[in-house]
Amino acid sequence: MGVVLSILKGYMVVLMVLLIAYTFRHYIFSFNRLLSRQKMYYQDIMTSEPKRISILIPMYNEELVLHNCLDSLLECDYDQDYMEIIPINDNSSDRTKELLDKYAAEYDFIKPLHRNSPNRGKPAGLNDAMELATGEIILVFDADYRPAKDILRQLTVAFEDPHVGAVMGRVIPYNTGKNLLTRLLNIERSGGYQVDQQARYNLNLVPQYGGTVGGFRKDVMLELGGFNTDVLAEDTELTLRLFTNGYRVIYANSAECYEESPETYTVRAKQIRRWARGHNQVLFRYFFKTLRNPSMNFLEKIDAMMLLLIYTMPLLLLIGKIDSIILFFAGSMNLFSAWWVILFLGVYSSFGNFAPFFQIGTALLLDGLWGEILLLPMLIFNFYFYMWHISMGVIDAIVDAFTKRTVKWAKTQRFLDEKKDEPTLETDKSTKENSNKGGRS
């Protein structure tokens, strides 16, 4: 029994160290955004000729949203002589193919890829599309996203730096007013991009390529073997693969793109469980590889470790709560002297627990979303909701590792108002004739 209690006590000590580390991380990032000099992006670089780009859009049953994404791309200010759009229709059973073929008939640079391969999923689809792509730069957008007018130029200019392997833009939800959940997801996104990603870029750490609203060099990606089809979090895997091979990922805070957030907790639960599962698959593959990697400096390795563990912490916290209950009833909570325990709990309750809320509050301040600060206390409910479903995702990843079972991609449900925004097959050509760039009004 004494050995078991010693193990439980040791676990609590390790958990406390991790919690303190993440607390410092939240505060360092927040104060960096509030008080430090900000690192400039590449948007002011003038180029004589645009780079040839290929825009890949993975799709599966996207008839409700694909027109918003394509129409937004058609209205972008990038020279269409230097771009192609490749929508990837991955075995859709709705009108996705029909709608894409309609666009392709009107725009010769829209080149749908209709996949009927049994090897389904986003990574496999992207690999197939890269074989057809003619651009030196590959940009990726999910089908429910609405790119801003200048985003193609904003993302592409980063590749004037030969050390940049990938670039990531900022994601902003557009359906924030639907309900409380969408409002909470909006402020979470704000904290994740306005503070977390930008601070990592400022500090030359490890900004994360997010799988959409970003891009990468085609030749580098092919050199590294393309996307790994065995993991769900192909974006996190690519981030670590680039850094461990000597390339950098750049964050462009001004390159904004608008997404549809989940509008029900059922859909959100499935989404974060999938994220946690995929993220921890990458953790198992890259943890020691990153620690031993000579291409990354000490701070980059620390940040990469904390990035890899971010979707493991909820399960560790859940285990810690069970651990503390066992130690309490066993009368073995005396990890340190009573005064040290009181001091630690007092300091952590005052500063540590508040750290993630402080980071989100900082983001809301920078974004001018003063009214949304009142929602911060509501995040505690999301915290426990995430703790459970992310923990289930971690367990899924552990089972995957031991059983070698095949991982299948699960599409996030769309919530677009069908009556308001559903596309039609009858296209109003007159609106296109008014623009030599082929944009829709």
Domain segments of the chain as ranges: 7-42+161-409
Percent of residues, the chain, with pLDDT higher than 70:
87
Assess whether pLDDT exceeds 50 at residue 434.
Answer: no
Residue 239 exposed, middle or buried by CB count within 10 Å (0-12, 13-18, 19+): buried
In our burial notation (b when 16+ CB lie closer than 10 A, e otherwise), range 262-294 reads: bbeeebbbbbbbbbbbbbbbbbebbeeebeebe
pLDDT at 46: 61
- The answer to whether residue 339 scores a pLDDT higher than 60 is no
Q: Please state, in angstroms and rounded to a whole number, the distance separating the CA atoms of residues 361 and 366.
A: 9
Distance CA 218, CA 254 (A): 23
Rg (CA), the chain: 23
Measure the CA angle with vertex 172, ends 440 and 388; round to 5°.
Answer: 135
Q: What is the pTM of this model?
A: 0.87
16 has a pLDDT exceeding 60: yes
Say which residues have a Cβ less than 8 Å from residue 159's Cβ, sequence separation at least 6.
51, 137, 167, 215, 217
pLDDT at 418 over 50: no
- Which comes out higher in pLDDT, residue 327 or 123? 123
How confident is the model at residue 432, as a pLDDT?
36
Q: How does residue 47 score in pLDDT terms, banded at 50, 70 and 90?
A: low
Side by side, which strands form the sheet with 164-173?
113-115, 83-90, 53-59, 137-140, 214-217, 164-173, 248-259, 146-147
Residue with tokens 């799988």: 211
